[in-house]
Amino acid sequence: MKKYHTIIIGAGPGGLACATILARQGKDVLLLERNERIGPKVCAGGIPASDLARNLPDDKLEKAFTSQRIFTNWQQTTITEKEPIIYTVDRGRLGRWMEKKAHEAGVTIKTASPVIKIDASTVATGKDNFAYEFLVGADGSSSLVRRYLNIPTQRIGVGINYQIAGNFQNMEWHLNSALFGNGYAWIFPHQSSASIGVYANRSGIKPKILLNSLYAWSKKFNIELKSRQPRAALVNFDYRGWHFGNRFLIGDAAGLASGLTGEGIYSAIVSGEEAAHKILDPGHDGEKINRLIKKQQRHTRVLDLASSSGFTSTLIMESLVLGLRAGLISYKELEMGSD
């Protein structure tokens, strides 16, 4: 049985980021991915302006936006800056680029390798068994590593997405408590299409009702969705820790997505990088992930308040947007990765 310094389960952005850092430091890293291809995932593809986004090659950024439009039942506003405040990326292209970087660093990547069993020192894929010194769970909202660690998951959001061909110009957020509870619908333009979808806390609205609400909303904008095939994904924002001895959880597996917005790419990459640094240096201070956790927890507290009743949800969401309009709240407070 081959032993690796670190085994990472899940080849999303977080797992790839973690693997690449470790391999560049000479560590023997195995990255196991259950799917045959790395990259594609149900995702709106938004990345807030940050060092992370600015360090991506220009050809990996689909579009850059210096403004965002926000609509509610009672008001609307446009947030505008001189420099881009958010970008869109194609998850498939981003994944393939990060996969190439991981290969170049020396990471062993095995696709079509779903992990079926984990114990104190080994993982099994059904084809092979591998031993590890460190284990990183980057395996998403239904994480097997999280279950192995006996960490429950109760706080879950659901996102439903359509990729619609066309030339869309404006990034838009639509908050409508009557339709989406404490969630929202979005239009995120990409190069030759747009991600159009909806996100909400699953405990507040059933996915089927959420989908029907999306259909009702889209009709107002002459966007035909009902004849198309939706894609859906769960978003785990039930954070209960990320470092457990020689085992780590990152991204959605750790519950580090924003429960308020569903945003998860930035959290996945940052937590993946931080896990790698902690493995390499047990004394690593973790300042970056600590800031991330604090913001994620603030988002969760706001969501909890908004989930108490329909009226409270409307009041809080309207107050947030009013605060943005008045300059009392920075848009950066509502995005996980804004510097």
Can you spell out the DSSP letters for 164-197?
EES-----EEE--HHHHTT-EEEEEE-SSEEEEE
Write out the chain's pLDDT in tens, 339 residues.
899 999 999 999 999 999 999 999 999 999 999 999 987 677 788 888 876 666 788 788 889 999 999 999 999 999 999 999 999 988 888 999 999 999 999 999 999 999 999 999 999 998 999 999 999 999 999 999 999 999 999 999 999 999 999 999 999 999 999 999 999 999 999 999 999 999 999 998 999 999 999 999 999 989 999 999 999 999 999 999 999 999 999 999 999 999 999 999 999 999 999 999 999 999 999 999 999 999 999 999 999 988 877 788 899 899 999 999 999 999 889 888 755
Strands 67-71 and 76-80: antiparallel
**How far is residue 268's CA from residue 142's CA, in Å, rounded to a whole number?**
15
> How many of the other CB atoms lie within 10 Å of CB of 304?
13
Residue that has been written with the tokens 């956790």 in this structure = 293
Q: At what angle do helices 265-280 and 13-24 cross, to 10 degrees?
A: 30
Run of H or E including 332: none
3-334 is a CATH 3.40.1260.10 domain? no
Domain boundaries of the chain, sorted by first residue: 3-334
pTM tops 0.85: yes
Strands 86-89 and 61-65: antiparallel
Question: Quick check: 44 and 160 in contact, CB under 8 A?
Answer: no
What residues pair up with 134 in beta bridges, in sequence order?
Answer: 6
